[in-house]
Amino acid sequence: MPALSTVKTWLIMNTIARTMAPSRPETDKIRRVELYDRYGSMAYGIILNIVPQPEVAQTILVDLFATFPLEEEISIRERESTAIIRLARTKALANRPGSAERSLTSFHPTERNLPKVVFNLSFWHGCKSEEIAERLHITTTDVLRAIRTYVKSFTTA
């Protein structure tokens, strides 16, 4: 009986709180769905690039938008799209099956495609700057410069 009373009290208090204050979960839900409608395809493209299995990629996509930390990520003068790109990549890399980790020995950079190779290793394969520098026999500064060159090519691409 006391347990029932506790449940009743809790429900009443929650109902009062929800009636008096604007329903934050409801606004969050609408915002998440809006984000999905706007950036779902973009995020799915990124995830599929890292995790080629559609079932796993879809699970990651659902998880991304359902648990997207709205306040923390978007309140730091950053665009929603940027936060979604970063989180889609991070989640996909963290959840990719073992088979999705490609052999990095197949990357043979030339002077012309170095920025692309570095970006691929870094963004799509989750390699750290030091690791890339070691593998490609370049300095970490060169790694960052290569990334800069490749990101600059986004404008002209």
Partner 1 sequence: MATKSHQYLEEGFLEAYLTGLISEQERTDMKHYLAENFDVQNELSEMETDMEQFFMRHAVPPPPGLRDAVLNRINETEIQQWKPDFEEFSQSRKSAKSPGRDDQYVNVEVDNTHIQVHKNWRPAFIAVFVLSKIFLISGLYYYFKADSMERELIQLRQQNSMQQTTPVRPLNTR
Cα→Cα distances 55→27, 96, 122, 132, Å = 29, 11, 24, 30
Terminus-to-terminus CA distance in the chain, angstroms? Answer: 68
Tell me whether residue 77 or residue 137 sits nearer to partner 1 (CB atom).
77
Amino acid at 9: T
**Shortest gap between Cβ of 70 and partner 1 (angstroms)?**
11
User: Which 91-150 positions form the footprint of partner 1 (CB under 8 A)?
Assistant: 122-123, 129, 141, 143-150
Exactly one of 15, 18, 27, 29 binds partner 1 (CB under 8 A); which one? Answer: 29
Q: Give the burial class of 59: count Cβ atoms within 10 A of its Cβ; 0-12 exposed, 13-18 middle, 19 or more buried.
A: middle
**Shortest gap between Cβ of 73 and partner 1 (angstroms)?**
11
Q: Quick one: which segment of 40-48, 97-105, 106-114 binds partner 1 (CB under 8 A)? A: 40-48
